[in-house]
A and B are shown apart, each in its own frame.
Chain A
Amino acid sequence: MYALPYLLLQRLRQAAINARRRDRSWRYLAWSVLAGALNGVMLALATAFVASLLVWRLWWLAIPMIAVLVVPVVADTLVRFVFVPAGFYRLAYHAARYSRPGADPSAYALCAAAWASTTGTAIAWVEARRETRRPLGDGEIAATALLAAARGDVVTARELLRSLTMIVEDHPAVRELAGEWLACDAAERGAWAELVGDAVRLRWPATPLTYLLEGIAARRAEAPGAPGAIELWARWALAPRRRVTRALVGAALAPRPAPRDGAALTGLDDPATPAPPPAAPLHRAVAAQLAFEEQPPTAADLAFTVRAWDAALGDAATQDWLARRALELDAPAGAVERALHDVAGAVTDELARRADAAQLGAPPGVVGPVGTGLTRRLRHGRLDALEAGFSRWAERRNDDQPHPPIDEWREFIALWAAYHAAVTAGGLELRRLAFPHAFSKGSNMAAWLWNKREEYALSHAISRWLLAEALVVGDAEAIELGHRNCALAVPTRLGHIQS
């Protein structure tokens, strides 16, 4: 009498959740309401059945029925609102496993345990569980990210969670957690555009909280298609932590400041802003340099400073003054050229150091002594660093002790981030120079990870990245090899995946 409707409701509820994961429109709200209502009915049915068993004095049957029918319905709520805040990592693990998150529930359970981890013991327990799971997949990477977050290492957590988009194995429940952490992280940093970008590209299936934060971000970034007040409040009503998010919704719906105020905030993007133009070009260059060294570096400030120096050092008045003073001081022959060269070198050194630290590229179209030197320095330095990094990475194949799969992945992610920072700053020209070495080492590593380590998802992610890069730089041989490698079916816990 109870079992059949319960099972039917369960199927319907799962279908509603699956449909919600694919949607970012008003239907998301409808599917959420439907899933919630079905959850409520399932809980009522299960509770009534268990109560009936107790009334009939069948308590020995009631206990397993509680475990089978009631606990799965409330397990997810218990994980989020009881076990995680309390740090009960083992309970979180088992409850998450029991919450029917789909195929391979251990992946989601591992993430829930990592989410609940606050102590060294808990972290060690989750890591030990993770090491028993081979090959590496999205659940293990997400769990490692959440452990990094538990240690306070936000940057690592962010990098690892973002890297999930490269992994072909896809546990929707794991991706939901990853998306929610990243959404909360972006909201904390005020990185509204980043959050809008994730929402537009449907990078993560959205939990109600993610969906709300995406709506807030769209309003804050004034993105096209941002939700209206009614829709935003509806999202708020569906999401947890309403007391916290009420203020965020209120701020998102408040009228935006006038454009003039906004322009003042982003004034550093305006090349004219860093310093008022003094009389002489050299005055302007020194002032720009000091302003650049005192503020967090931006591409606009770098371009302004480089152009100011190139103008100053090429200025006829500056050279005339130097020549006159060199004569008056009885300076040795060639003192003017040497002085200009020394000043340009000192300035270039400092600008290159700061640009490199901030991952800024050389400004386009600069041709003076500082601009040319900076362009050459940044390109060579970054290429050398990248080549050394990829070579070190490839050498790991010869290490006596095999590294844990997660370490292999973290090594790749660090290189991948460095490569993209360098090519973003250096443009297509640097990308074409950097790719052959990356391709050579990356292909070897991908083959080794697939054949020797049986880390299929990792190997596939590397091959897919190499293929994407090969397509950008137009390397025909790499494209052919990439297509062959990426066409292989990837064995995962969710079956063989053909991408």
Chain B
Amino acid sequence: MSGAGSRGASGGAPGTPTGVATRLADNPFFVLGITVDASRIEVEREAQKLLGMLELGFAEAQTYATPLGPRERTAELVRAAVAALRDPYRRLVAELWARHAPPARAAAAPAEPSPSLSRHGGLRRALGWRP
């Protein structure tokens, strides 16, 4: 697979995770905070607005909502997103992912340790063995 899906908008540094979840999080529609029905003019206008806000350091522009929780928004991501949505094929794939994604969700609370993992922790040592 050549990576022509929605992730193509933002690229991503070599070595970053390439799971489907990450593709979804980098979806251009989520990066720009627009619906999948947005017209080309709306896409361009939203991108310009976000780039201006990011340059001025507006807090509300620093993050965007995704089905995996909030992500950091950068000017580079915004430019990549708008470039992806200008390409009809890449927009089609981005729409396919964004339209069928679960709803955006808030930041997850820190996970609590699983009680089952620590249930018998240290038993081996208590019974006279190492480690």
Contact residues of A between 152 and 201, Cβ < 8 Å to B: 152, 154, 180-181, 184-185, 187-190
Please pick, from A244, A341, A347, the residue contacting B126 in the complex, using a CB distance under 8 A: A244
**Interface hit among A91-99, A332-340, A466-474:** A332-340
Is B20 in contact with A347, judged by CB distance below 8 angstroms?
A: yes
A-B contact count (CB 8 A): 122
Contact with A along B1-30 (1 / 0, CB 8 A): 111110100000000001111011000000
Distance, CA A160 to CA B33, complexed state (A): 54
Is A289 among interface residues, defined by CB-CB distance under 8 A?
Answer: yes
Contact with A along B101-131 (1 / 0, CB 8 A): 1100000000000001001111110111111
Distance, CA A147 to CA B46, complexed state (A): 63
Is A346 in contact with B129, judged by CB distance below 8 angstroms?
A: no
Is A430 among interface residues, defined by CB-CB distance under 8 A?
Answer: no
Nearest CB on B from A266, distance (A): 12
Nearest CB on A from B18, distance (A): 7
Distance, CA A349 to CA B17, complexed state (A): 12
**Interface hit among B55-63, B75-83, B89-97:** B89-97
Is B23 in contact with A188, judged by CB distance below 8 angstroms?
A: no
Chain B residue at minimal CB-CB distance from A85 = B128
Is B96 in contact with A322, judged by CB distance below 8 angstroms?
A: yes
Is A346 in contact with B5, judged by CB distance below 8 angstroms?
A: yes
Given A282-B100, A325-B92, A339-B93, A184:B127 Cβ within 8 A: yes
Is A1 among interface residues, defined by CB-CB distance under 8 A?
Answer: no
Contact with B along A128-157 (1 / 0, CB 8 A): 000000000000000000100111101000
How would you classify the secondary structure of chain A's contact residues: helix, strand, loop or mixed? helix
Nearest CB on B from A244, distance (A): 5
Please pick, from B3, B20, B88, the residue contacting A329 in the complex, using a CB distance under 8 A: B88
**Complex contacts, B24 vs chain A, CB 8 Å:** 286, 290
**Complex contacts, A322 vs chain B, CB 8 Å:** 92, 96
Is B96 in contact with A343, judged by CB distance below 8 angstroms?
A: yes
Contact with B along A269-282 (1 / 0, CB 8 A): 00000000000101
Is A80 in contact with B128, judged by CB distance below 8 angstroms?
A: yes
Nearest CB on A from B82, distance (A): 15
Interface residues on B, range: 35 or more
Nearest CB on A from B98, distance (A): 10
**Complex contacts, B4 vs chain A, CB 8 Å:** 338, 342
Interface centre among B89, B122, B124, B129 (most CB of A within 10 A): B129
Given A184-B123, A294-B21, A345-B1, A286:B131 Cβ within 8 A: no
Distance, CA A294 to CA B108, complexed state (A): 12
Contact residues of B between 52 and 71, Cβ < 8 Å to A: 67-68
Chain B residue at minimal CB-CB distance from A340 = B96
Distance, CA A187 to CA B122, complexed state (A): 10
Is B89 in contact with A331, judged by CB distance below 8 angstroms?
A: yes
Is B2 in contact with A342, judged by CB distance below 8 angstroms?
A: yes
Is A330 among interface residues, defined by CB-CB distance under 8 A?
Answer: yes
Is A184 in contact with B124, judged by CB distance below 8 angstroms?
A: yes
**Complex contacts, A280 vs chain B, CB 8 Å:** 100
Nearest CB on A from B59, distance (A): 28
Chain B residue at minimal CB-CB distance from A344 = B1
Nearest CB on A from B114, distance (A): 10
**Complex contacts, B89 vs chain A, CB 8 Å:** 331-332, 335, 338-339
Q: Residues of A with Cβ closer than 8 Å to B?
A: 80, 84-85, 115, 118, 146, 149-152, 154, 180-181, 184-185, 187-190, 209, 240-241, 244-245, 248, 280, 282-283, 285-287, 289-290, 293-294, 322, 325-326, 329-332, 335, 338-339, 341-343, 345-350
Task: For the A-B complex with A149-B131, A331-B92, A343-B96 known, give 18 more contacts whose Cβ atoms are closer than 8 Å.
Answer: A146-B130, A150-B130, A184-B127, A184-B128, A185-B124, A187-B123, A188-B120, A188-B122, A209-B127, A244-B123, A282-B96, A293-B21, A329-B88, A332-B89, A339-B92, A341-B1, A342-B1, A346-B5
* A/B interface sample: 24 pairs, CB < 8 A: A150-B130, A154-B131, A184-B124, A188-B120, A188-B123, A190-B116, A240-B128, A241-B127, A244-B123, A283-B102, A286-B24, A286-B100, A289-B21, A331-B88, A331-B92, A332-B88, A335-B88, A335-B89, A339-B92, A339-B93, A343-B93, A343-B96, A346-B3, A348-B1
Q: 8 closest Cβ contacts across the A-B interface?
A: A345-B1, A331-B88, A188-B123, A329-B88, A282-B100, A152-B131, A184-B124, A244-B126
